[in-house]
């Protein structure tokens, strides 16, 4: 019992460190003008500028995710069969992203978020976090989408699965699916809004939509809202609608399958 408690405590600490690492990664440009100078020296003016901290962030996230798996697989929170299930779900969802790249849908529509949300909802927040981060990593390797944006995509997708595990569990299937569809639509917007922050501070073109050091919080939020509405909102609405439609259409049977697997192997949600 003491060993299990110690493992769960260590696992919780690792998740907290991973969450803080993600928050610091997105907040770094606002907190460290030196990072802004490094990017400006590269002459990057594209919407996806090079970030010199991206390799470090990727390495930290991968190490933390592997550490979490090593800790949890030795305890009762995650059995070896559940780790195998995580691998299968990640592989299947990553293939869905390959299909998305081969046959692009309208707007930001992507089939990968519905499985992440459903897995987090059924298996719990920790499983959902790993599902999100690993899915984005594997799918990037498959589709050639590796770049400075990858660790930030991994964190954001991990937060999708993490927060899905925090949702209430109403008994009515209709209420469940409605809740999950609404959640999916909301995250369709949030994912884009969060991900933009990895490059937005570097787009200092002097306009009223760009960020400048020394601005107040209200001014920063106002400029970002203007930038987001002009560049990403319609795209993200497409992603949100796609999430909602997929969950409404396939969510109930998918949840039944996942719940049966969870209960059969006596998986404990966390």
Q: Is the pLDDT of residue 81 over 80?
A: no
pLDDT level of residue 45 (50, 70, 90 thresholds): very low
* CB contact at 8 A, 113 and 239: yes
Look at 148 and 223; give whichever has higher pLDDT.
Answer: 223
* Close Cβ partners of 174 (under 8 Å, ≥ 6 residues apart): none
Distance CA 37, CA 143 (A): 31
How much is the pLDDT for 234?
A: 92
How much is the pLDDT for 86?
A: 87
Q: Is the pLDDT of residue 215 over 80?
A: yes
> Residue 98 is inside which H or E element, if any?
helix 80-102
Least-confidence region, from 10-14, 25-29, 111-115: 10-14
- Percent of the chain at pLDDT > 90 equals 39
Q: Is the pLDDT of residue 43 over 60?
A: no
Instruction: Give the Å distances, CA to CA, from 170 to 59, 167, 246.
Output: 38, 9, 20
Look at 97 and 186; give whichever has higher pLDDT.
Answer: 186
Look at 263 and 158; give whichever has higher pLDDT.
Answer: 158
Query: What's this model's pTM, rounded to 2 decimal places?
Result: 0.86
pLDDT level of residue 51 (50, 70, 90 thresholds): low
């Amino acid at each position: 019992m003491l060993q299990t408690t110690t493992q769960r405590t260590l696992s919780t600490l690792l998740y907290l460190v991973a969450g803080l690492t993600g928050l610091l990664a997105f907040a770094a440009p606002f907190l460290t003008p030196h990072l802004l100078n490094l990017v400006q020296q590269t002459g990057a003016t594209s919407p996806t500028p090079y970030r010199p901290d991206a390799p470090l962030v990727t390495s930290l996230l991968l190490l933390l995710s592997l550490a979490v798996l090593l800790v949890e697989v030795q305890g009762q929170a995650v059995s070896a069969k559940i780790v195998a299930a995580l691998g299968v779900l990640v592989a299947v969802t990553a293939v869905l992203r390959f299909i998305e790249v081969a046959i692009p849908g309208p707007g930001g529509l992507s089939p990968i978020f519905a499985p992440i949300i459903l897995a987090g909802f059924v298996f719990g927040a920790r499983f959902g976090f790993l599902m999100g981060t690993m899915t984005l990593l594997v799918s990037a390797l498959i589709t050639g989408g590796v770049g400075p944006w990858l660790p930030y995509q991994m964190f954001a997708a991990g937060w999708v699965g993490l927060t899905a595990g925090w949702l209430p569990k109403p008994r009515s299937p209709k209420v469940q699916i409605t809740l999950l569809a609404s959640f999916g639509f909301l995250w369709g917007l949030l994912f884009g809004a969060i991900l933009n922050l990895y490059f937005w501070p570097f787009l200092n073109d002097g306009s009223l939509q760009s960020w400048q050091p020394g601005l107040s919080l209200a001014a920063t939020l106002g400029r970002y809202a203007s930038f987001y509405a002009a560049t990403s909102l319609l795209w993200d609405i497409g992603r949100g609608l796609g999430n909602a439609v997929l969950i409404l259409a396939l969510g109930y049977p998918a949840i039944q399958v996942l719940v049966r697997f969870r209960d059969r192997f006596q998986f404990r949600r966390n």
